[in-house]
Structure 1
Amino acid sequence: MALNPNDRSIAGFTMAGHALVHWFETSIPIFLVVWLAEFDVGVALFGLVVALGYAPFGLGALPGGILADRFGTKRLILACLAGMSLAFLVLSIGTSIYAIAAGLLLWGIAASIYHPAGLALISTGVEDRGTVFAWHGIAGNAGIALGPFAAATLLIVLEWQLVAALLALPGLVAVLYGLTAEFDPAAAVDDDADAGPDEALSLSDLVGDSRALFASAFAIVFVVVAFEGLYYRGMLTYLPEILHGLPAMDALDLPASLEGIEPADYIYVGLLVVGMAGQYAGGKLTNRVAPARGMAAIFGVLAVLAVAFVPVTGLGLGAIVVLCGVFGFFLFAIQPFYQNAVAVYTPPDSRGLSYGYTYLGEFGLGSASIAIGGFVLGGFPLSAFFLLIAGFAVAGGLLSLGLVVGLDRYLVTGRAPEKRPDVDD
Structure 2
Amino acid sequence: MDNDRKITWLTSFSHFITHGYMTLLPAVLVVIAGEQSLSLLHLGIIANVGYFLYGIGSFPAGWLADRFGSKLLLTVGIFGMSIASILVGFSFSMPAFAVAYALLGAFASIHHPAGLALVARRVTVKGKCLGIHGVLGNVGLTTAPLFASLCVLLFGSWRAAYIVCGLGGLLLGMVFQMSRIEGEPDFSLSSLKRLNRPYSASGPVPAAPEPVQPVPLVIPVALLLLFVDSILSGFIFRGSLTFFPALLQREVLFITNHETPVVMAGFVTTAVLSLGVIGSFFGGYLNDKMKTPELLPIIIFTIVTPTLYFLSRLSDFRLLAAGCLFSLVYYAWQPSQNYLIVQHTRRASHGFGFGINFFLIFGIGSIATAVGGYMSDQYGVDRFYGLMAIVSGAALVCSITTMTVRNRQIRLPWRVGRTG
How does the TM-score come out when normalised to structure 1? Answer: 0.86
Partner of 2:289: 288
Structure 2 counterparts to residues 27-176 of structure 1, below 5 A: 27-158=24-155, 159-176=157-174
Q: Distance in 2 between matches of 1:264 and 1:199?
A: 53
Once the two structures are superposed, residues 28-58 of structure 1 have per-residue CA deviations (whole angstroms, 9 ceiling, x without a partner) of 2112121111111211111101111111111
Is contact 1:216-1:413 (8 Å) kept?
Answer: no
Q: Counterpart amino acid of 1:248? A: L
Deviation at 1:312, TM superposition (A): 2.2
Q: Secondary structure at the match of 1:396?
A: helix
Structure 2 counterparts to residues 192-207 of structure 1, below 5 A: 195-196=201-202
Is contact 1:213-1:354 (8 Å) kept?
Answer: no
Once the two structures are superposed, residues 259-301 of structure 1 have per-residue CA deviations (whole angstroms, 9 ceiling, x without a partner) of 6773221111012211101111111111123332111111121
- Aligned match of 1:244 in 242, 249, 270? 249
Is contact 2:239-2:369 (8 Å) kept?
Answer: yes
Partner of 1:365: 364
Assess, with a 3 A threshold, how the Cα gap between structure 1 residues 52 and 127 changes in structure 2: closer, same or farther. Answer: same
Deviation at 1:161, TM superposition (A): 2.0
Partner of 2:178: 180
Is contact 1:91-1:164 (8 Å) kept?
Answer: yes
Q: Counterpart amino acid of 2:297? A: M
Partner of 1:352: 351
Assess, with a 3 A threshold, how the Cα gap between structure 1 residues 243 and 288 changes in structure 2: closer, same or farther. Answer: same
Deviation at 1:213, TM superposition (A): 7.1
Q: Counterpart amino acid of 1:164? A: Y
Deviation at 1:162, TM superposition (A): 2.6
Partner of 2:304: 302
Assess, with a 3 A threshold, how the Cα gap between structure 1 residues 394 and 271 changes in structure 2: closer, same or farther. Answer: same
Identity of aligned residues (%): 26
Q: Distance in 1 between matches of 2:230 and 2:314?
A: 28
Q: Counterpart amino acid of 1:389? A: M
Aligned length: 390
Once the two structures are superposed, residues 92-151 of structure 1 have per-residue CA deviations (whole angstroms, 9 ceiling, x without a partner) of 111111111111100010000110000000000011111111111111112112222211
Is contact 1:231-1:369 (8 Å) kept?
Answer: yes
Partner of 1:189: none
Q: Distance in 2 between matches of 1:177 and 1:353?
A: 29
Deviation at 1:8, TM superposition (A): 1.2
Assess, with a 3 A threshold, how the Cα gap between structure 1 residues 198 and 19 changes in structure 2: closer, same or farther. Answer: farther
Q: Counterpart amino acid of 1:161? A: R
Deviation at 1:60, TM superposition (A): 0.7
Q: Secondary structure at the match of 1:184?
A: coil
Partner of 1:267: 268
Partner of 2:228: 223
Assess, with a 3 A threshold, how the Cα gap between structure 1 residues 95 and 176 changes in structure 2: closer, same or farther. Answer: same
Q: Distance in 2 between matches of 1:228 and 1:367?
A: 10
Q: Distance in 2 between matches of 1:303 and 1:381?
A: 19
Is contact 1:72-1:196 (8 Å) kept?
Answer: no
Q: Distance in 2 between matches of 1:375 and 1:198?
A: 53
Q: Distance in 1 between matches of 2:102 and 2:308?
A: 29
Once the two structures are superposed, residues 3-22 of structure 1 have per-residue CA deviations (whole angstroms, 9 ceiling, x without a partner) of x7111111121112111101
Deviation at 1:378, TM superposition (A): 1.6
Assess, with a 3 A threshold, how the Cα gap between structure 1 residues 264 and 199 changes in structure 2: closer, same or farther. Answer: farther
Partner of 2:194: none
Q: Cα RMSD between the aligned structures?
A: 2.4
Unaligned residue ranges in structure 1 (runs of 5+): 187-192, 201-207, 415-425
1:320 lines up with 2:326 in the alignment: no
Q: Which sits farther off after the overlay, 351-360 or 8-17?
A: 8-17
Q: Counterpart amino acid of 1:184? A: E
Q: Counterpart amino acid of 1:395? A: A
Is contact 2:148-2:266 (8 Å) kept?
Answer: no
Unaligned residue ranges in structure 2 (runs of 5+): 185-198, 207-213, 414-420
1:379 lines up with 2:385 in the alignment: no
Q: Counterpart amino acid of 1:264? A: A
Deviation at 1:352, TM superposition (A): 0.8
Q: Distance in 1 between matches of 2:176 and 2:300?
A: 38
Deviation at 1:310, TM superposition (A): 3.0
Q: Secondary structure at the match of 2:112?
A: helix
Q: Distance in 1 between matches of 2:105 and 2:362?
A: 10
How does the TM-score come out when normalised to structure 2? Answer: 0.87
The structure in which a higher percent of residues are strand is 2
Q: Which sits farther off after the overlay, 404-413 or 296-305?
A: 404-413
Q: Which runs of 4+ in 1 moved over 4 A?
A: 196-200, 211-216, 250-254
Q: Secondary structure at the match of 1:287?
A: helix
Partner of 1:205: none
Q: Counterpart amino acid of 1:68? A: A
Deviation at 1:61, TM superposition (A): 0.6
